[in-house]
Amino acid sequence: MSVRTNRTHAVAERSNLYDEITGKIIAELEAGRFPWVQPWGTSVAKAALSLPQNASTYRAYSGINVLILWGAVVERGFSTQSWITYRQAFALGGNVRRGEHGTTVVYADRFVPDHEKKRARETGEDAQAVPFLKRFTVFNIEQCEGLPDEVAASAPLSVASPIEPRVEALIKATGIDFRIGGDRAFYVPAHDYIQVPPPQAYFEPINWHRTALHELGHATGHSSRLDRKFSASTASRKYAFEELVAEINAAFCCAALGIVPTVRHADYIGSWLKVLKEDNRAIVRAASQASKAAEWLLGHLPDEVGASIELGAGND
C-alpha cells in the first residue's frame, strides 16, 4: 500500500470517527436528551454521579470520552464509572469476561507529517500540525473478572456533602469578579465579570450553583485565562458553540463536585444541532474545550477542599 493510500485511509478513518461520534450526539439531541446531563439519581442510572475514571491509572477521562462513557453507563446499566483496557486488565492479573463488548473511546492529538516538516525546512516557515483521533476500546470493570480487590471495588470519584461550601471556595479561589444581584445570569467578556441573581431567586437553590458554574465556564475563555474567542452576536455559530462549551463545562464541574447537572440553556438545542450538522468535529472540540475550562476552574480549589477531586486529561 502506497504512502498516499495510507494517508487517504487515515483521513477517511478520522472523518468516519468524527461522523460516528457526532451522529450519536445529534440523535440524542433530536430525541430531546442531553448527553452531558444523564438521569443521575433516577432508576435509569445505577451508577453514582461522578466523572468516569480509569481503574488502573485512577486518572479521570476527559472531553468527549466523558460523554461517551456516561452514555454507556446509562445505556448498559453499569453501577460503576470505572473503566479499563483489555491489556490493563491482563496486567493486573484479571481478564475481560468472554463475550463482553467494549466501549469505543478516542484519543485526540496532533502530529506533523514528514512532508510538512520538509516544507517547513525548505521555506523557513513553521510546520503545521495535523489533528487526529485514534479509537481504542475500554471495558467497565463489571465486565471483568479476576481483578485485584482494590480495583474491582474501586469507587467512583466522589465528594462529601455539603456541596455549597466547595462552590463558594472555588468562586473565591479563581479571583474572577463574581457579582450577586439582578434578575439575570450573564458574563460580560469586555469587562470580565459575572453576575448571577441571589440563590433565593431560584425555585431550587441548587440551581444557583449550576448557573454559577455555567457562567464561570464562560469566564475561563477570557484572554487572561484560556483565551477562547467570543462572539457578540447571539445568532452566530460561535455564540452557540461557546454556549455548548459552557454547558458541558458546567456538567463536568457538577460531576466533580457531586452536584447533579441540569440543562441551563435547553432553548439553544436548535442552534447546537445546526452547529453539529455543519461541522462533524464541533462536539469533539466543544467537549475538549469544556474539559480545559473545568480543569482550570477545579484547579483553583484550595488543597483542603479539592483534594478528592481530579479531572485529568488522561484517556489511557
Q: What is the DSSP letter of 268?
A: G
For β-strands 177-180 and 193-196, DSSP reports them as parallel
Q: Considering only residues 132 and 23, tell me which one the structure prediction assigns the higher pLDDT.
A: 23
Mean predicted confidence (pLDDT) in 180-188: 88
Q: Is the pLDDT of residue 294 over 80?
A: yes
Q: pLDDT tier at 304 (50, 70, 90 boundaries)? A: low
Alpha carbons within 13 A on the beta-carbon side of 42: 8
Position 270 pLDDT exceeds 90: no
**CB of 41 within 8 A of CB of 298?**
no
In this predicted structure, what is the pLDDT of residue 309? Answer: 46
Residue 290: the pLDDT is 96
pLDDT of residue 151: 81
Taken in order 286, 306, 313, 251, the sign of the CA dihedral is negative
Mean pLDDT on 276-282:
92
The whole-number average pLDDT for the span 234-240 is: 80
Q: What is the pLDDT of residues 72-120, one digit of tens each?
A: 998 888 989 999 999 999 999 999 999 999 999 998 777 788 888 888 8
Residue 249 has pLDDT above 50, yes or no: yes
- Identify the pLDDT of residue 204: 75
As a whole number, mean pLDDT of residues 310-316 equals 43
Side chain identity, residue 174: T
- Tell me the average pLDDT across 33-44: 69
> What is the DSSP secondary-structure string of 203-233?
SSTHHHHHHHHHHHHHHTTSTTTT-PPP-S-
pLDDT at 161: 33
Q: Write the pLDDT tens digit of every residue in 39-68.
A: 665 555 678 778 899 999 989 999 999 999
Average of pLDDT values for 228-249? 83
Higher pLDDT, 183 or 216: 216
Which DSSP symbol is given to 298?
H
| Residue of higher predicted confidence among 5 and 16 | 16
What share of the chain has pLDDT > 70, as a percent?
82
Which residue carries 485485584 as its cell? 148
- Return the amino acid letter for 52: P
Look at residues 231, 232, 268 and name the one whose alpha carbon lies nearest to residue 248: 268
Give me the chain's average pLDDT, please: 82
> Parallel, antiparallel, or unpaired: how do β-strands 103-111 and 130-140 relate?
antiparallel
CB 169 within 8 A of CB 302: yes
CB 111 within 8 A of CB 130: yes
The CA distance from 272 to 26, in Å, is 9
Which residue(s) pair with 105 in the sheet? Answer: 136
Distance between the two ends of the chain, CA-based, in angstroms? 30
Q: 283: closest CA among 91, 76, 24?
A: 24
Least confident of 81-95, 189-203, 279-293: 189-203
In this predicted structure, what is the pLDDT of residue 88?
95
Residue 11 pLDDT exceeds 80: no
- Whole-number Cα distances in Å, 231 to 209, 221, 223, 242, 262: 25, 11, 13, 8, 24
Q: Flag whether pLDDT at 130 surpasses 80.
A: no
Task: Dump the DSSP string for 99-164.
Answer: T---EEEEEEEEE--HHHHHHHHHH-PPPPPEEEEEEEEEEEGGGEES--HHHHTPPPP--PSP-H
Structural element, H or E, at residue 31 = none
Q: Hunting for cell 465528594 — which residue is that?
A: 159
pLDDT at 307 over 60: no
Q: Which residues pair with 83 in a beta bridge?
A: 54, 140
Q: What mean pLDDT is predicted for residues 9-33?
A: 79
Largest CA distance in the chain: 66
pLDDT tier for residue 158 given thresholds of 50, 70 and 90? very low
Q: Mean pLDDT across the stretch 239-261?
A: 90
Q: Residue written as cell 480543569?
A: 295
What number is the average pLDDT over the span 212-239?
Answer: 87
Q: Are 130 and 116 in contact (CB under 8 A)?
A: yes
